[in-house]
Structure 1
Amino acid sequence: MAKKNESLGKTVGVVLALCLVCSIIVSGAAIGLKPLQEKNAALAMQENILDAAGILEPGMDIPAVYDKRIKPLVVSLEDYEVLKDVNPANFSNRKAAGDPETSVQLKRSEDIAGLGTMETRTEAYLVMDEQGNRNGVVLHIRGQGLWGTMYGLIALKSDYDTVRGVLFYEHSETPGLGGEITNPAWVKTWEGKELFGENGKVKFDVVKGGASSEHEVDALSGATLTSNGVDALIDFWMSDKAYGPLLEKLRKGELTNG
């Protein structure tokens, strides 16, 4: 019996030692790969921004084109000034929205996009033409879909009203239904649409039964809740509660490049 217990003890000891070694290896690999993962994530976002802005082309040097054509700024959503002490390369809208120091709790009556909390600062990407002049902006958008949050980007032309492009890069919507928010054919229908009416208020709509004006795009077939979510997130982010005053400052040329 003593020998059996001794043998069992050795086996347990070996197993525990192996578990410890494996844990150390896995932890070390995770730490070691983190810089590469962050670099790849940053590159993917640069690609998304260029794509939304209509600049992306097959085989292009994404970092080089991004550095030439995109000017990232971190802007306060409280006074709509550029936060010159915040490095855009180290900033994350998603982290800001989850940090009590850089976010606010939305009232249920105003939270039409189902956000819960809203960041008090955002990263805005000024689009530059080949001569280095401002030619529009790309902004983060997000809102509740059928199964979870839809994360995207919207690019506006130099009037800060007309849509240059839209891109949803992360979502959990149903493939073939709500998941069609990434369908290039549907995305293309946004190009040239106008977000605001003559009174400066958001007029854009995602409509059933066929878009018939410059302020409308077709809803997704069989995906009413996803379509409603897209409509609501545009209404929220383009309102005076979010990007409305920022876009007005851009129209007037009052936002400095930092």
Structure 2
Amino acid sequence: MSSQKESTVRTLVVALLVCLVCSVFVAGAAVALRPIQVENSLLDKQRNILAIAGLGEASMSGSEVKTLFNERIVARLVDLETGKFSDEFDAQTFDPLAAAKDPALSENLSGAEDVASINRRENYSVVYMVENDEQQMETLILPVRGYGLWSTLHGFMALQGDLNTVQGFGFYQHAETPGLGGEVDNPNWRGLWPGKEIFNDEGQLAIRVIKGSVDSASPNADHQIDGLAGATLTANGVNNLLQYWLGENGFGPFIDNLRSGEA
């Protein structure tokens, strides 16, 4: 073999070994970091649930978040078909988003049903409750999601004990345009939600994000939230996801059962 061929072979062998070593290193790092990523994701979820419920401070450490969450928050599994609590899975470990991708644990939504553009809805979900010392529910926290302009918005809505008045509402994950649809993260806009009412006096779902500003003299003002300037499609997405998850195909039957003591 000529020296030129030997040199080429050596170069290829060295390149192959470098690629192999790098692949092993990257794969090992991914495996090693996976538990940390899962832990951080759980911590972020718990922090957001506490914030929506009006508990704790944003500056809390991870250990403080865990302690407060475990002390004040109770997770319960809900069968969305029956609108009642279920023991089919462990609420602490069940992942509704993963279930929504599993045909055995979810259902495909038709165009008319899928107002939130989520494609599939899980058969079971997990709700979170803040209880007092007598184990009576003070706040109910519901997971919600739906498509905006560019992305699926994932968030939580907290309802007071009357199951009608909003305690808090916000999103923890989305990819909407900063300064436009991204204003769903603006504390001023999020601050408009507490005190708003989900249902009207006839029990109909009435909450809406409107175009423009709410007229305080309007008879519907208690159910309306100011729109997002320049982000009509994102605001429409928020409306749609609320109509779905608070309606008959989402948590509507569960809220009715919980209110009547039959959940």
TM-score bucket of the superposed structures, by smaller chain: over 0.9
1:44-83 alignment to 2 at 5 Å?
Answer: 44-57=44-57, 58-59=59-60, 61-83=64-86
Distance 2:121 2:179 in 1: 30
Q: Does the 8 Å contact 2:84/2:262 carry over to 1?
A: no
Distance 2:206 2:128 in 1: 23
Q: Does the 8 Å contact 2:148/2:234 carry over to 1?
A: yes
TM-score by length of 2: 0.93
Letter in 2 for 1:219: G
1:1-258 alignment to 2 at 5 Å?
Answer: 2-57=2-57, 58-59=59-60, 61-212=64-215, 213-255=221-263
Distance 2:65 2:262 in 1: 29
Post-superposition offset of 1:209: 2.8
SS in 2 for 1:99: coil
SS in 2 for 1:249: helix
Letter in 1 for 2:65: I
RMSD: 1.4
Post-superposition offset of 1:11: 1.2
Q: Does the 8 Å contact 1:125/1:137 carry over to 2?
A: yes
For structure 2, the 5+ residue unaligned runs are 216-220
Letter in 2 for 1:95: A
TM-score by length of 1: 0.95
Letter in 1 for 2:25: I
For structure 1, the 5+ residue unaligned runs are none
Q: Does the 8 Å contact 1:201/1:239 carry over to 2?
A: no
SS in 2 for 1:73: strand
Distance 1:193 1:74 in 2: 26
Post-superposition offset of 1:85: 3.9
Post-superposition offset of 1:180: 0.2
Post-superposition offset of 1:206: 0.8
SS in 2 for 1:140: strand
Letter in 1 for 2:136: N
Distance 1:231 1:136 in 2: 22
Letter in 2 for 1:97: A
